[in-house]
Amino acid sequence: KYLLCSVDFSALPHYVTSEITPLYIQSDVDGEISRLRRRGVSGAYTYYHTKKREIRSGVRVETERLITRHEYEHLATLQIPNTEVIEKLRHCFVYKDQYLELDVFQKPSKYERLILLEIELTEEHDAIELPPWVDIAEDVTESNEYANFVLAKG
């Protein structure tokens, strides 16, 4: 996961953009993060409930299921107090046989200029090749500071 200074969007290979809105809810399991997510393109949305558990730094186990809008709205009432709803645009693309997600944050306003690039590896020790058209400020893979849950807590 990388914090970016800037991106040359004109150099981006074919990509798909979707609106991502994560919302964190209370979990019954210690060490587990429970998240709702609304993902949409052109006003059409799908809803997910995800549970994440960190095994060790940088390695997580994730279970995710598709839920209905009604379920999403009901579970959203369990939002963790004093957390904010994040809104971001996610640009997904493939670069040198790697799947990348480029998140450009929209809300809350204090994160308007935040851009993160994440590489989804299939194996923990896969080699990483970063695109030359991103201006990397810092590798934040080991930092929890840029985890969505931490950002939601402000």
Tell me the pTM: 0.84
* pLDDT for the residue numbered 125: 78
* pLDDT for the residue numbered 75: 95
Average pLDDT over residues 52-58: 79
31-39 LR contacts (CB < 8 Å, sep 24+): 33/149, 35/148, 35/149, 36/67, 36/72, 36/75, 36/76, 38/72, 39/90
